[in-house]
Structure 1
Amino acid sequence: MAEDIKNKIKNYKTAPFDSHFPKQNQTRHCWQNYLEFHRCEKAMAAKGGDIAVCEGYQCVYKSLCPVSWVSAWHDRRAEGTFPGKI
């Protein structure tokens, strides 16, 4: 299974269609995948699991989110002022 996930990530081009976010504005899709990546990463680190299974979320948010947003979110997480629940 891990091999299949790694293969999909290697061949990743853009975010797939998500019926939760059907409109053109992908801001919520970006935000949700950013949160899901960090939640998954935190959960896998706590369990001692392979963080590679979370990389799908990272690929999606990196393709959808502006770099300035991601940079600001990383800074806020480091400061402890991030508004999302991770």
Structure 2
Amino acid sequence: MEVELKTAPVDKRFSNTNQARHCYAFYNAYHQCLHDNDGDTSACFDLKRHYASLCPTKWVESWDEQRENGTYAGPVPGEKKAEAHAH
């Protein structure tokens, strides 16, 4: 008997397993929100709360430092797509 391999369905018992993708998405969404709202942190509070609860502090510190240095590999609000990977 052959077993067909495929991705397992979502199992709510393991909802906290590997949240790295969600962490990264919320972190980037927060910075996009700040850009879209002229730096108004109150408009973006929920996004910050989400990434802060999911992301390891070391990751956030590293990404913040990379943003300050202009070396962040992720999306940077205000950059055109062609510029996004020119860093």
Q: TM-score, normalised by structure 2?
A: 0.65
Residue 67 of structure 2: aligned partner: 77
Return the structure number with greater helix share: 1
Give the gaps of 5 or more residues in structure 2: 1-14, 77-87
Residue 25 of structure 2: aligned partner: 32
Question: Could you report, residue by residue, the CA deviation over 1:40-60 in whole angstroms, capped at 9, with x for unpaired residues?
Answer: 0011007xxx43121111000
**Which structure exhibits the higher relative contact order, with contacts defined as CA atoms closer than 8 Å and separated by 6 or more residues?**
1
Name which one, 1 or 2, has greater alpha-carbon Rg.
Answer: 2
Amino acid at match of 2:37: M
Runs of 4+ more than 3 Å apart:
none
Q: Cα RMSD (Å) of the superposition?
A: 1.7
Residue 57 of structure 1: aligned partner: 47
Q: 1:73 to 1:55 in 2, by over 3 A?
A: same
Deviation at 1:23, TM superposition (A): 6.9
Amino acid at match of 1:40: C
Aligned residues: 62
Q: 1:71 to 1:81 in 2, by over 3 A?
A: same
